[in-house]
Amino acid sequence: MHLIPALKELGLLGGLNNPVKLSSAEFAEYMATSSKTSARILKSLEDEGYIERRIVPGGQEVALLEKGRQLLKKEYEDYRHIFTETVEKKSIQLRGSIVSGLGEGHYYIGQEGYQRQFGDKLGFAPYPGTLNVHLDDLSLKFRDKLAESAVIPISGFTNGERTFGACHCFCVKVEGFEAAVVVPDRTHYPADLLEIISPVKLRDELDLKDGDEVEVTVDY
């Protein structure tokens, strides 16, 4: 269970933005463990895609990859919520109209690689499909409030035939129903569109059709 502490130490050493030159013995001192254990931790982090290592004269350089940065960011957000839990939480309501997507949500959200992560990180297995909400002009001005809520990273993966990209989520409520906004990491994404997943089929539960207005609550 050295994952977070090891990434934290590498981040504190400057590895978040630049490679850090250090030996396993030096890293062992920061981790208060043996050189053999610290070497095993670094190899595990590298094998799992959290860091990259490069052999250089006199030792090695270690840098955090995006997967490692996202995990540290999630840990930061968790602690931020813990230590601000006594402060009154704020929320904002975004409004928009229901629009049809391209029909791809069912295919992508239904992938086992996504479903497993959604279940682990969001606490629910989503209905395989998305509810697409086109924000009105007023709500569009406040869309950035999503970024002030906890960012939940979802890693990319392969299923043996093709690669599926990473994304990130923000927990929301849609007319009182538990849900999350999904935003792809590497795809140009229109700012006025929210793609929403939920454990239920929201169109049916709320009796929605294209053009109907809906309210999305964001806590921040």
Provide the annotated binding site for FMN: 187, 195
The closest alpha carbon to 123, from 112, 131, 115, belongs to 115
**Between helices 66-83 and 3-10, what is the axis angle to 10°?**
100
Q: Which residues contact 55 (CB under 8 A, 6 or more apart)?
A: none
**Strand (E) or helix (H) holding 139:** helix 137-140
- Summarize the annotated binding site as residue ranges: 101-106, 130, 132, 187, 195, 200-203
The closest alpha carbon to 62, from 101, 104, 18, belongs to 18
Radius of gyration of the chain (CA): 20
138 backbone dihedrals φ, ψ, rounded to 5°? -65, -45
Distances (CA, A) of 82 to 37, 60, 76, 85, 92: 31, 36, 10, 5, 21
Q: What is the total residue count of the chain?
A: 220
| Spatial distance between the Cα atoms of 133 and 192, rounded to a whole number of angstroms | 8
